[in-house]
Amino acid sequence: MSWRDNLIKIEPYVAGEQPNKTDFIKLNANENPYPPSPRAIAAIRGYNAENLKKYPSANAVPLVNAIAKREGLQPENVFAGNGTDDVLSLCFRAFFNSDKPIIFPDITYSFNTVWCDILNIPYKTIPVDKNFSIDPADYARPNGGVVIANPNAPTSIGRGLDFIRAILDSNRDSVVIVDEAYVDFGGVTAVPLLKEYDNLVITRTFSKSRSMAGMRLGWAMGGKEVISAIYATKDSMNSYPVDSIAQAAGVASIEDEEYFQATLKRVIATRGRLTAELRSMGFLLPDSQTNFVFASHPRYSAKDIFEFLKTRDIYVRWFNKPRIDNYLRITVGTDGETDMLVSALKEVMNLWN
């Protein structure tokens, strides 16, 4: 036996590349191309740094209150953490303690399998169909929990309330997590179902629609019992997760509904343009309800396009994974970035024709 035998053996989540240069177009991590709300920026600039000598509000009370107010919930229905990834990992610990496997689609947010591996949670993935569609009937089977991203990533496909309701109806004895990281870009939120299902937990992030990926803020919404279980888990690991500056910036962002809506509108408009351009070049892609598109081309390999775009300093996401290795996940950037992407794609198609 060596200490090496006791080291963790795990294949970690791989984030989109962060090239070591400044002048490039980054469309590989679904970041928002626009800055955070000016009110959030002002909250950070105006933050009295002397206050940092004190611990933050342990349960991020001002932020939780602001989120509850916006979503029409009570503060006891909201938990805030350091990004959705932090919130989800607490949820996995808090809810998934069964011997039965938790279930989720084979093509979805790839952090799910990483958390299961590190937390020793048994899991089973359920194949989506050839159009990447999820059949709720597949989720009517014994399980230790259900995780659904809606809209789903990296497919960009969003489903309606009937879909979530069907999954909830066949899973009365499991916690069902609905990851709504992209819902603001045109998806349908499950928040109205919270009053009917006390086993439903919805997660959201500031990273995409609120342009604050660098701040690390996310939250969960659910009935009092499930939310209390997340607080208990947090308080068993790290009692003060969201720092004071992030809390202040988060409140300011949540309270600036007007800027939020205006930014969403811009991203959605550019997404429409990008979708049309890609289709006119022969790409196949579903209608996106997110801030990215998921595209493949019948004649050119996604990997080759991905590599070519890098030579033009344009970074998109390509997953070297079964079923999706001929697809590119492309974040919706500014109109200018979209123009440069489109002209690089036209260039390579000419080259390879």
Which residues form the interface with ligand PLP (CB under 6 A)?
A: 30, 83-85, 109, 149, 153, 179, 181, 205, 207, 213, 218
Q: How far is the CB of 111 from ligand PLP (least distance, A)?
A: 7
Please say which residue, 56 or 83, places its beta carbon nearer to ligand PLP: 83
- For 242, the token pair is 């969201």
Q: Going by C-beta distance under 8 Å and a sequence separation of 6 or more, which residues neighbour residue 309?
A: 315, 316, 341, 344, 345, 348
Q: Tell me the C-alpha distance between 265 and 268, whole Å.
A: 5
Please say which residue, 300 or 327, places its beta carbon nearer to ligand PLP: 327
Please say which residue, 153 or 274, places its beta carbon nearer to ligand PLP: 153
Q: What angle do CA 67, 72, 75 make, to 5 degrees?
A: 50
Three-state helix/strand/coil letters over 203-247: EEECCCCCCCHHHCCEEEEECHHHHHHHHHHHHCCCCCCCCHHHH
- For 48, the token pair is 């009295």
CA distances in angstroms from 111 to 108, 141, 220, listed in the order given: 9, 23, 17
Please say which residue, 85 or 256, places its beta carbon nearer to ligand PLP: 85
- Among 313, 288, 58, 308, CA closest to 153: 288
Q: How far is the CB of 30 from ligand PLP (least distance, A)?
A: 6
Give the amino acid at 186. Answer: G
Please say which residue, 179 or 337, places its beta carbon nearer to ligand PLP: 179
Please say which residue, 186 or 300, places its beta carbon nearer to ligand PLP: 186
Please say which residue, 156 or 270, places its beta carbon nearer to ligand PLP: 156
Residue 156 and residue 187 in contact, taking contact as beta carbons nearer than 8 Å: no
Q: How far is the CB of 304 from ligand PLP (least distance, A)?
A: 25
Q: How far is the CB of 207 from ligand PLP (least distance, A)?
A: 3
Q: How far is the CB of 153 from ligand PLP (least distance, A)?
A: 4
Please say which residue, 26 or 297, places its beta carbon nearer to ligand PLP: 26
Q: Are strands 102-105 and 145-149 parallel, antiparallel or unpaired?
A: parallel
Count Cβ atoms below 10 Å from residue 227 Cβ, excluding itself. 22
Instruction: Write phi, then psi, for 85 (nearest 5 degrees).
Output: -60, -40
Q: How far is the CB of 185 from ligand PLP (least distance, A)?
A: 11
Q: Tell me the C-alpha distance between 117 and 122, whole Å.
A: 8
Strand partners, 43: none
Please say which residue, 109 or 319, places its beta carbon nearer to ligand PLP: 109
Q: How far is the CB of 202 from ligand PLP (least distance, A)?
A: 12
- Among 145, 156, 103, CA closest to 127: 103
